[in-house]
Structure 1
Amino acid sequence: MKISTEQFRVKPKDEVDLKKRPTSVPSFYRSKEEYQELLTEQIDRLSSLQGLLYANNSWSILLIFQAMDAAGKDSMIKHVLSGINPQGCEVYSFKHPSPEELDHDFLWRSMRRLPERGRIGIFNRSYYEEVLIVRVHPEILAAENLPDKLAGHKNIWRDRFRSMNDLEAHLTRNGTRIIKFFLHISKEEQRKRFLERIDNPEKNWKFNQDDIEERKRWKQYMNAYEQCLSATSSKDAPWYVVPADDKKNARLIVAQVVVNLLEELKMSYPETSEEKHRELLAIRDELVQ
């Protein structure tokens, strides 16, 4: 079964209102068994396409995941990309910037982690944090040591959106295809998952007081996400707002989007020249003797 994903895509110049975007949609599966069957089918297809991407060695893929706490980014990456050869896939989780990173422009640390040709790069959080958490926490912006007239400029966020759009346009022109996912969780579902992290000793390490403090800024974050999604979803580097209250459903949606992207590239394995073919036949004759 092929899932229709267009409904989740943010079209260029869309004014995103997250209240009107669902955090839950009817399930694409009727049972746990059917979910596993569908996911396995998608993973097998992803594995095959990733092998083709690696052999073709012309394109690279960048997948970006952003979300509120407990939306399921880690489990999404774990489940959807479980069948991909690690040799052709790189995952980076961006934490608080280091002193060295703070002494460079805000895109520098991400640029260093871009995928090579033939590979899939996965950003668990990304340079988009610079217009999300930094926007909600001005003290982080102050720590970046920008010149005063730049840090206090009224158009700083607009300018950062422009830098991101320019970067993604540049990468697209040079063979990197980009897909960005916002895992859209409801505040109530986050509350349930926080309680689970407290009640389950094996998940206690995932939770601390900072998570509650960030939850208190929910409206500020939603406003920041809305402006970010509206300003930076383009034809070639689109955002997908993925309903994430149902983790299984969300995984099926994301997997389908990635499969669609790889199929659109219409890749093929490198052709064997006549000279190479003769060489292989000679080697084969030697091996069968």
Structure 2
Amino acid sequence: MNIHPKDFRMREGDDVNRKKWPTMVDPVYKSKDQYKSLLEEHVAKLAELQRLHYASNRHAILLIFQATDAAGKDGAIRHVMSGVNSQGCRVYSFKAPTEAELEHDFLWRTTRDLPERGRIAIFNRSYYEEVLVVRVHPDILESEAILDAPHHAKKVWRERYRSINDFEKHLGVNGTRVVKIFLHLSREEQRKRFLERIDDPQKNWKFSDADLKERKFWKDYAKAYEECLEATSADAAPWYVVPADDKENARLIVSQILLDTFESLDMSYPKTSAKRERELQVFRSELTG
């Protein structure tokens, strides 16, 4: 089975019904060995394309991961990007905003970490938390000094969707390709993964009491994700809804999405001018003479 990223890509204007999105699809691998082989192949290609991306210095790539707890964001980033040169790629994780960050608009703290040309930035969670977690827990708006927010919540979300769309459009016009991954996990699979974290001493550190508390808001998060993805998936900055119940399959899909993104860019190694070629030949003569 070949991976076709367009099968997971939301088109601009698509209606969203999270219940109809599969959390499991037929795997693209037939065995664990084949999975490892396919992932190694993808990782090697990504490493090669990342070198070209860095040398070309024409575009930047912003890769955003959003998901419910235990959906596999960390694992996907770690495995898929394992061959990429760390000098050209940075990963940023965004937790609850600090007091200083709350003194700015909701896009400010992530804007500081946008990638330069030739680089990749990976946001493990992002400014989208401001229309997801904050929407599920609207009392957070009080700490953000949003005037009359509890009485005008719908207006707040509409305005934030518009700000996000305008922001991502601005990035695209200026050479940053925005790729957004939603790892779609089922409630039952999340339960299994939580139990695994509790039962395995080496994974105890992954489990937080807060994870269980947030699980109680599953339906609220589902509604928030549906509206968010419908409002913010654009042709220039699409959302990819990746079935996440099978971690290995999800990693292969994510890596293919990133490969397709690289291959869609206008990249080439810098050409050497005639003057520079003559200089290089002089240097060569000195080294071999």
Give me the TM-score of the superposition, normalised by structure 1.
0.98
| Structure-1 residue corresponding to 2:226 | 226
| Secondary structure in structure 2 of the residue aligned to 1:237 | coil
Work out the CA distance in 1 between the residues paired with 2:52 and 2:3: 22
C-alpha deviation, 1:6, in angstroms: 1.1
Work out the CA distance in 1 between the residues paired with 2:88 and 2:284: 28
> Residues 133-178 of structure 1, C-alpha deviation per residue, up to 9 Å, x if partnerless?
0000012111111223x56324110110000000000000000000
| Structure-1 residue corresponding to 2:263 | 263
| Structure-1 residue corresponding to 2:274 | 274
Work out the CA distance in 2 between the residues paired with 1:41 and 1:107: 36
Amino acid at match of 1:32: K
> Residues 4-47 of structure 1, C-alpha deviation per residue, up to 9 Å, x if partnerless?
12111111011111110000000000011111111111111111
Segments of structure 1 that go 5 or more residues without pairing to the other structure are: none
| Structure-2 residue corresponding to 1:22 | 22
Work out the CA distance in 2 between the residues paired with 1:130 and 1:65: 14
> Residues 177-212 of structure 1, C-alpha deviation per residue, up to 9 Å, x if partnerless?
000000000000000000000001111111122111
Work out the CA distance in 1 between the residues paired with 2:226 and 2:239: 11
When the two chains are superposed, the root-mean-square deviation of aligned CA atoms in Å is 1.0
Amino acid at match of 2:138: P
Superposed, 1:78-93 pairs within 5 Å as 78-93=78-93
Work out the CA distance in 1 between the residues paired with 2:170 and 2:118: 18
Amino acid at match of 2:127: Y
| Structure-2 residue corresponding to 1:216 | 216
Q: Is the 8 A contact 1:182 1:239 kept in 2?
A: yes
| Structure-2 residue corresponding to 1:157 | 157
Question: Matched residue pairs, number?
Answer: 288
| Secondary structure in structure 2 of the residue aligned to 1:115 | coil
Taking structure 1 as reference, are residues 95 and 253 closer, same or farther at Cα in structure 2, changes over 3 Å only? same
| Structure-2 residue corresponding to 1:94 | 94
| Structure-2 residue corresponding to 1:33 | 33
| Secondary structure in structure 1 of the residue aligned to 2:63 | strand
Work out the CA distance in 2 between the residues paired with 1:237 and 1:125: 16
Q: Is the 8 A contact 1:2 1:256 kept in 2?
A: no
Give me the TM-score of the superposition, normalised by structure 2.
0.98
Superposed, 1:1-289 pairs within 5 Å as 2-148=2-148, 152-153=151-152, 154-289=154-289
Work out the CA distance in 1 between the residues paired with 2:193 and 2:20: 23
Q: Is the 8 A contact 1:76 1:251 kept in 2?
A: yes
Work out the CA distance in 2 between the residues paired with 1:166 and 1:151: 24
Work out the CA distance in 2 between the residues paired with 1:206 and 1:33: 27
Work out the CA distance in 1 between the residues paired with 2:199 and 2:126: 30
Q: Percent identity?
A: 61
Amino acid at match of 1:80: V
